[in-house]
Amino acid sequence: MWQSISKNTKIILISLVALFSILIFSNLEKSPELIGQSEALKLIDSSPVERVLVKEPYVYLYFKDKSIKVPKEAIDTKKLFSLGKVEYYEESTEMMDTIIFVILLTMMFYIFYVMRASRKTQERMIQNQQMEMADNNLGKLNIQAQHSNVNFSDVAGVEGAKEELEEIIDFLKNPTKYREFDISLPKGVLLVGPPGVGKTLIAKAVAGEANVPFFYQSAASFVQIYVGMGAKRVSELFAKAKEMAPSIIFIDEIDAVGKSRGVHNNEEREATLNQLLTEMDGFEESSGVMVIAATNKIEVLDEALLRSGRFDRRVHIPLPDYEERKSIIALNLKSKKHNIDIEKVAKMTIGFNSAALATLINEAALYALRYGNFTITNEDIEAVKDKVLLGKHKIQSFTDEERHIQALYQAAKAVTATWLEVNYEKIGIISSNFIPHHNEILSKTMLENELKVLLAGRIATQTKYGELFTNAKEDIKTAKILAQTIVEEYAMSEEYFSTALHAQRLLSYSEEEVASLLSKMERVVEKVREYLLENESITPTETKGILDEVF
């Protein structure tokens, strides 16, 4: 251990030990034997006193071979001196002691200060070295533009997302055109959806289609151990992207830095987020830099990120439905020899994300090859399906009974939404895709209708099965928040100041209304449920078709 201590620290430690030794030694010297007056006078008579030290309340007498102390009043020291009995006389006062003590203390503080300063300098040197290393890595590894050779033809399904991004591609191809006409596009696009649905792939495809450099950054990699490092990375990333504009910055899992600044404050994350916000505010819409970020939890994002001028455009990418799975499977089989029934595979892979479908096809091909077959068959898919289900991709797979419950749940929502004119793109067995409002003025009726849609599934399943189910969890959560917002924020209840009771009353009232609506719509709901079991998802037009048919 001694070897691991630096030279300076060693010197300081030795000095400290020496200092303490001196102190202890001098204190020892000051503690000779205490004797009475008569004995002391006898000693003085018999041998010469070499040194006298007066230090309240004693007098210290040092003889050639002995030292003693006597109470001060017991001896007339002046007389001793005048008799020539004393060779050296010294008077020590409390003041002197204090001065010595202060000097020692100051020295100790000084030594500590020097020690700390040298340790800090060392730490700073190490930190600088590490920052330099990180900087080097930054230049070499991370902030490097990639050339994307992915195109929209490599992305199957997600037609809605592609359509929404067409405009962005055009802007990246011709930023000057937009500048000339003074048209501003959003600076940022937020891709929202579960993992493995192709968010990264889509961002790459946008870069490929527009033929612009692509900067990939995972937000987690921004947040470093050292405060300030993440912010530095963000500003360098934007600087590089601007240099090479038109270009795309893709920030994966933005929630790693963009989580709302709640209870768990993290200085580094906050500094990084602030830098990101500053950078996004700092460049012109027409500069040609497009920031695309991905997240699967929009609800945890800091409001500042979602505020106007930042990630204005949001594109939702749900799990692929039946039709989408068909095209993803077909795309993955494009360059492989097979006699697979794509429709059958698409049917049995409900809940699979796109990445899991790619894995499924790949595993099936490997399986076929292992048994010497060069054509992939349905049996190969069957053989590896469970392995993929249990693999790294989180797959929501239903039993037959669960599928029936879920189909009824979603059918009731689709019918209620269509009847009450709540906008949605698609409602499917695994996900529902409602169209968000964009800064509109919303009426109380519109908000209550949304509430009713959220409650419809639970009521329909409860009526049919006489039971409550856990699949209502997310909708119930949203409904509670919405009810609270209606009565609290918008004061759309009997009173301006609301309590939990007002929200509860609103929920109960909406529940009754939906129950009565659904009781009249039983046949329609049943038909939509059958449709969902067959096709997995339904659009408003298709639901309307069924409604018109029945009524």
- Of 75 and 257, CB closest to ligand ADP: 257
- Of 358 and 525, CB closest to ligand ADP: 358
Between residue 179 and residue 218, which ones bind ligand ADP under the rule CB under 6 A?
A: 195-201
* Under 8 Å between Cβ of 256 and 298: no
- Of 252 and 450, CB closest to ligand ADP: 252
Binding marks (x or -) toward ligand ADP, 323..342, rule CB under 6 A? -----x--x-----------
* Under 8 Å between Cβ of 197 and 353: yes
538 interacts with ligand ADP by CB under 6 A:
no
| Ranges assigned E (strand) in 468-544 | 537-538
Q: How far is residue 447 from each of residues 88, 443, 459, measured CA to CA in Å?
A: 102, 6, 19
- Of 393 and 403, CB closest to ligand ADP: 393
Total residues contacting ligand ADP (rule CB under 6 A)? 17
- Pairing type for strands 313-316 and 188-192 reads parallel
346 interacts with ligand ADP by CB under 6 A:
no
In the complex, the smallest distance separating the C-beta of residue 319 from ligand ADP, rounded to whole angstroms, is: 10
Of 62-70, 116-124, 280-288, 352-360: span binding ligand ADP (CB under 6 A): 352-360
Q: Which amino acid is at 546?
A: I
Start-to-end CA distance of the chain, whole Å, equals 89
Looking at residue 338, the DSSP 8-state letter turns out to be B
Of 56-64, 74-82, 354-362, 467-475: span binding ligand ADP (CB under 6 A): 354-362
**Tokens 């009781």 sit on residue:** 519
Count of CB atoms within 10 A of residue 28's CB? 9
Strand partners, 313: 189
Residue number with the shortest CB distance to ligand ADP? 198
Q: How far is residue 2 from each of residues 5, 10, 118, 279, 536, measured CA to CA in Å?
A: 6, 8, 18, 50, 72
To the nearest 10°, the Cα dihedral for 448, 454, 460, 466? -110
Measure the CA–CA gap between 407 and 477, rounded to whole angstroms: 20
**Residue 266 CB burial class (10 angstroms; 0-12, 13-18, ≥19):** middle
- Of 164 and 236, CB closest to ligand ADP: 164
Work out which of 75, 192, 205, 294 binds ligand ADP, going by CB under 6 A: 294
- Of 127 and 153, CB closest to ligand ADP: 153
Binding marks (x or -) toward ligand ADP, 72..111, rule CB under 6 A? ----------------------------------------
Residue 99 three-state SS: helix
391 interacts with ligand ADP by CB under 6 A:
no
Binding marks (x or -) toward ligand ADP, 141..180, rule CB under 6 A? --------------xxxx----------------------
- Of 158 and 414, CB closest to ligand ADP: 158
The site for ligand ADP (CB under 6 A) is made up of: 155-158, 195-201, 294, 328, 331, 354-355, 358
